Chains A and B, each alone.
Chain A
């Protein structure tokens, strides 16, 4: 092996190689951190919400402006009429009223405590007041216990709740959560009657996105109401138009806005998607610039050493040996750059953690990045190195 000569040549031409070391190091550090952020964003954006088939779940927002609808009884009978009308539309599978919409970015949350620990800090309790048929409409999976009973929905007080498994684990780390009680809304204890597998609450990018509980009732707000409508796949378009007409025919003193859950999701994540696109662009540009930089420096060093290569060829070195010389040289330099880069990557991650609340870099990602740049280094060296193998031995004999 010609490691000795390669090493001595590197030391002699150290400037160029310091540049490659710097470039590879910086690129690895930045790319690894960008990919890390990107994957965190992707994880949030693509995390399943637990709602079945979001495309065919419509959110209907109704906002009354007619003063007649300020009357509580009038407004309530209208909401019940709305639900009946929606249920009768062709293509509608199920309809429910809800106090908040999952993934939408706005909803209700109340602190939860255990009856025996009323002085402890509350556990966050994002919640949904829902009416009949909510399970089928949301399309969440009831894994334990039972649904609410029909008479529960008309009751004024809150006596029963269904929890997501994540909230049940947080609230009752030990033992069976079914039948246990908790305190919320400062009222009488509420009993857990069922568990749903998973559902994202109204704040999908928060740390407590998996925590939610449902309680039966007739959600009432004076200025707006939400209906969720599950439709037969393929009919979402027609149903949307029909909803608007049906509700305004019931009472025209209000506005109606329909969005599919897919659209709700897209709106909530628009900023994240934008950051993700910017990061992807930076990653692509960076890899491109680094590859160009390595190719440029190697190409320059091949040009400078044309005579030397010719001499080696004249003295019997094969083309393969010339190729290997440049590849090994690049491997040595890149390896040094990668060591620097790994240190820089953790340093940058540390800075971002302190300055912009980033999370720890996973080791697998750093390893993957290292392998990627090692391959990139060899691949970009290949073109100028192949050019070097074509230097004819006769060059050695020519004068400059």
Chain B
């Protein structure tokens, strides 16, 4: 029966090529715009680590000014980053979390042999970073725990920087001079470009992940400081040593906690730690140490640009207008066929059969338009990627193609219901009389 209806639908589309093309074009435009904007929103706001993000927590300690809160609009919120000593003592040196990373962004100089040195976007981090955030490797792996403990100069390269320095070769074990230090390559990442830099939303959340990754243990010995936001309520953070020893917050701390009991244990460890610091003269505010789940953290800090949200709403409204247009086109087309339907009804076709037949034709039109629309959105996203010059990389993935297709079916159904109902309620006699 479905096959027969599909065949009828196909014949009808071919009989009115202009009207059918218009209808298909309307849906294609609507689906193209909607899928594009929904995809952009989904890549920015979707879960960056499905199935894992609820175990990842951003560590916040209230080390701020005893006189006033970090954010006077939200006095209950602790500072959005950590001081160096707290990142070291409360994150790196705790054995409670299953995994933990203390880190910051920096810019360091790469000195390729026989070429001009250039500055590279760098993440200075403990080795768990890669496992915490499921970072894909192409060659090698993170530096080992032993290497980290010994403070060895090892580096992980992004796919792009590996291509720039070593071609596509497996560069594990080779060396590269960074600043004044010779580093050995421990691993090379596979291409990795989340739309939102979800592990550090305060220092250029729209940027690509960093180009090189070096051990946190080397930060202080090499005198590396961050290239990013630093907030301070005290003095003396402008020099390198000052930055490490002052109350300035400039590092991010992440932990993976596998169970509630682990979370509670870590929370009480943090509270004990700050109590101890308070006795020693720091942390003069009352304890406000928070373990913020990753998604809640993103939401609180409004990591998703509002324009992405409003574009999505507007695009869905646009699809609605295209669907209303489609209603008009289908209605005109179906009613012009009323005499023919009258004959079919007189010959015994049930109302339901006529209804289903026309609904199938609507869906056929919609699916044609939807496929064109998804293709259109693929092209538009390509143009957008080129316009943004590698700043972001938006692409359609399977769930988004599925969403585009789902929107198509819904639009087809919404647009088709009324015209199909109108045509199936044509009384057979009226049109028979006219013939």
Instruction: Determine if B410 is an interface residue (Cβ-Cβ < 8 Å).
Output: no
A23 CA to B223 CA, complexed, in Å? 63
Measured between beta carbons, the chain A residues less than 8 angstroms from B422 are 15
Q: Evaluate contact between B324 and A22: CB separation under 8 angstroms.
A: yes
Q: Which of A272-280, A378-386, A390-398 contacts B (4 or more CB under 8 A)?
A: A272-280
In the complex, given contacts A185-B235, A296-B332, what are 19 additional A-B residue pairs having Cβ atoms less than 8 angstroms apart? A15-B331, A29-B317, A30-B318, A33-B314, A119-B67, A255-B116, A270-B391, A274-B387, A277-B387, A278-B37, A279-B314, A285-B29, A286-B318, A290-B325, A292-B22, A293-B324, A293-B325, A297-B328, A352-B310
Q: Evaluate contact between B387 and A65: CB separation under 8 angstroms.
A: no
- Nearest CB in chain A to that of B231: its residue: A109
Measured between beta carbons, the chain A residues less than 8 angstroms from B26 are 289, 292
- Nearest CB in chain A to that of B234: its residue: A186
Chain A residues with CB under 8 Å of chain B are: 15-16, 19, 22-23, 26-27, 29-30, 33-34, 37, 63, 65, 67, 70, 119, 121-122, 185-186, 220-223, 255, 270-272, 274-275, 277-279, 282, 285-286, 289-290, 292-293, 296-297, 300, 348, 351-352, 355-358, 400
A356 CA to B312 CA, complexed, in Å? 10
Interchain nearest-CB distance for A293 vs B (Å): 4
Q: Evaluate contact between B306 and A357: CB separation under 8 angstroms.
A: yes
Measured between beta carbons, the chain A residues less than 8 angstroms from B123 are none
Which residues from 210 to 269 on chain B have a C-beta closer than 8 Å to any C-beta of chain A?
A: 223, 225, 227, 233-235, 238-240
- Nearest CB in chain A to that of B305: its residue: A271
Q: A220-B238, A297-B328 are in contact. Are A289 and B314 (CB under 8 A)?
A: no
A-B contact pairs, 24 of them (CB 8 A): A16-B328, A23-B324, A23-B325, A26-B317, A30-B317, A37-B310, A63-B109, A70-B223, A186-B234, A220-B238, A222-B225, A223-B107, A223-B227, A275-B307, A277-B387, A278-B311, A279-B311, A282-B315, A289-B26, A292-B325, A293-B328, A297-B328, A351-B313, A352-B313
Measured between beta carbons, the chain B residues less than 8 angstroms from A292 are 22, 26, 325
- Nearest CB in chain B to that of A294: its residue: B328
Which residues from 326 to 344 on chain B have a C-beta closer than 8 Å to any C-beta of chain A?
A: 327-329, 331-332
Interchain nearest-CB distance for A184 vs B (Å): 12
Instruction: Determine if B72 is an interface residue (Cβ-Cβ < 8 Å).
Output: yes
Give 9 closest A-B pairs by Cβ, nearest first: A356-B309, A65-B109, A356-B306, A356-B310, A293-B325, A300-B332, A121-B72, A275-B307, A30-B317
Q: Binding site of A, secondary structure by majority: helix, strand, loop or mixed?
A: helix
Interchain nearest-CB distance for A383 vs B (Å): 16
Q: Evaluate contact between A286 and B321: CB separation under 8 angstroms.
A: yes
- Nearest CB in chain A to that of B75: its residue: A121
Q: Evaluate contact between B33 and A289: CB separation under 8 angstroms.
A: no
Which residues from 312 to 370 on chain B have a C-beta closer than 8 Å to any C-beta of chain A?
A: 313-315, 317-318, 320-322, 324-325, 327-329, 331-332
Interchain nearest-CB distance for B33 vs A (Å): 6
Interchain nearest-CB distance for B67 vs A (Å): 7
Instruction: Choose from B72, B180, B313, B315 the contact partner of A348 (Cβ within 8 Å).
Output: B313
Q: Evaluate contact between B119 and A255: CB separation under 8 angstroms.
A: yes
- Nearest CB in chain B to that of A355: its residue: B309
A279 CA to B36 CA, complexed, in Å? 12
Q: A121-B72, A293-B328 are in contact. Are A271 and B206 (CB under 8 A)?
A: yes
